[in-house]
Structure formats: C-alpha cells, structure tokens
Amino acid sequence: MERPAWAPRSIDISVPSVSRIYDYYLGGSHNFEVDREAARRAMEFMPGLPKVMQANRAFMRRAVRFAAGEGITQFLDIGSGIPTFGNVHEVAQAAVPGARVVYVDHDPVAVAHSEAVLADNDDADVIAADLLKPREILTSPRLERLIDLRRPVALLLVAILHFVDDADDPYGAVAELREALAPGSLLILTHASYEGIPLPAERAEGAVDVYKDIRSPLIMRSRDEVARFFEGYDMVEPGLVQMPHWRPDSAPEDEDPYAFSGLAGVGRSA
C-alpha cells in the first residue's frame, strides 16, 4: 500500500480510523481503502450514514453562527477530525472577523492536515490531544496563545462522545471542561442514538458492530444519557432535539430521513 505524502509516518495505514471514515462519508480524500471498506460495511446496514454526517456538519455550522450572534468569539472544537469544506474557523471567522479557533484531535492525520490548512491563519490552531485528558488541552501553549479562559468560549463536542465508553468517564471529562470555562460559555454537542434512525434498531446495530470490529466502539446513548452531558448548562431553545430541528435554515420535512438519526443541542453555562 502506497503511503501518500499527507500521511504521517507514525500511523499504521492498515488500521481503519474513525476520523478518516468520517472524511470518506463527507466526500473527502484523506482516507485509505481500509477506511472505505469499513465505511461501506457499515453502510450495508445503514445506507444513509453519509446523510447523518452531513446533518452533523450542518448543525455545527448553524450552532457556530448562533454562538457568534451571541457575541462569542472563541471556539474550542474537540474531536474536530479532518478538515473539509465549511469548518468551524471558516464559519466563525466569516461571522466575526478575528474569531479565535482551536481544534483538538488525537488522530495524527487530522492534526497534520489541520496544520496544513491553518498554516496562514494566525487566529486558528490545532492541538494533538485527547478529550479524556482535559488538563492537557487546557494548559496547552497553543490554546493559551489564542483563547482567554476568563471569557466565554463555545466548546464543540460534535460526533465525538459516542466513541467514548462509559468506563472512560466521558461525563467527568465534559464536567472538567465546563468547570474550566467562563460563565456564559456554550456547549455545542451531537450524539448518536437509536432515536430517529429510520430503521429497526436491530438493523442499525449491524453498523454499530462494524465500529466495534475496528476497535472504535460506537456507544448509542438514550436521550436521558445524552442530556446528562448538559448538567450545569441551561439548554438553549429548542433544547435537545434531532439535528434538523435545531434552528433550521430550511424546512426539516425536506431533509433526508437519515438526517434525523441522533440528537443535538446547545447549552449555556450559568
């Protein structure tokens, strides 16, 4: 297998990666045959997976514009993945020139590609770190250069928490991040759930099993379990809803049925 120039030497390109599979679903080019094969296997059970990812991205863009409209100029996107069209820094900086954006990912391809994309952008940077180690993120010199934690921050956790098992205490990590951010900060979050998937749960489980096989378990949480991530936040209207129902730009009934798979919400810390 030929290693492309953009693939860091440290990565094993024979093992699928969640962020490269996501890149494939979004029509990106930073993925390998091993990622495409895993994606196609999951799509045998849930053919609408690319639509789910597109709905995640569309919600993220609406939520970033909402945050900018609320006067927030600092964005921390954890589990940001491989940059594709319409990233947080593009949306935020179009809405508020000079908005500061820090991306965080532990996938070396995502980090390397983000560095390349952001090379000429003084107001955005990327950190190689893990959501489960908030202290490392919060004390990173790259974060400290751009983000003032004494002022409100929009924290994005989009399509990331469903890859964290309860045993690894994702609730604790999210609470630690909340504690570190100034009052008035926003939590922008999406999460996979069987709720809203236009398929019987048993069939959707086939796609979940593909992620289990590549050692990236996909944890489908209930509405109540997802709502727990917002402890300490006041929910912004319309609350925790399916992605197309969160402050839509166009009629939700025009959306693909798969776009309703999973939950999205924004909370504001008191």
For the chain, the distance separating the N- and C-terminal CA atoms, rounded to the nearest angstrom, is 52
pLDDT digits (tens, 9 = 90+) for 122-138: 999 999 999 999 999 99
List the one residue out of 192, 104, 85, 111 whose CA is nearest residue 156. Answer: 104
Cis peptide before 238 (omega within 30 of 0): yes
- Residue 13: pLDDT band by 50, 70, 90 thresholds? confident
Q: Is the pTM of this model over 0.85?
A: yes
- Residue 10: pLDDT band by 50, 70, 90 thresholds? confident
Q: Residue 187 — φ and ψ, nearest 5°?
A: -110, 120
The whole-number pLDDT of residue 1 equals 63
How far apart are the C-alpha atoms of 245 and 264, rounded to whole Å? 9
Neighbours of 205 (CB within 10 A): 16
- Residue 11: pLDDT band by 50, 70, 90 thresholds? confident
The whole-number pLDDT of residue 6 equals 77
Please identify, in words, the CATH class of the domain defined by 50-197+220-269: alpha beta
How open is the CA angle 70-238-256, to the nearest 5 degrees?
A: 110
How far apart are the C-alpha atoms of 101 and 31, rounded to whole Å? 25
State the amino acid at position 82 in one-letter form: I
Q: How confident is the model over 172-191, as a mean pLDDT? A: 98
DSSP H or E run through 190: strand 186-191
List the one residue out of 74, 90, 88, 95 whose CA is nearest residue 146. Answer: 74
Packing angle between helix 49-69 and helix 33-45, nearest 10 degrees?
Answer: 100
Q: If you ran DSSP here, which 8-state letter would residue 3 be given?
A: P
pLDDT digits (tens, 9 = 90+) for 183-211: 999 999 999 999 999 999 999 999 999 99
The whole-number pLDDT of residue 196 equals 94
pLDDT digits (tens, 9 = 90+) for 46-93: 999 999 999 999 999 999 999 999 999 999 999 999 998 899 999 999
Domain ranges of the chain: 50-197+220-269
- Residues 241, 62 contacting (CB under 8 angstroms): no
The whole-number pLDDT of residue 164 equals 97
Q: Residue 66 — φ and ψ, nearest 5°?
A: -60, -45
The whole-number pLDDT of residue 12 equals 84
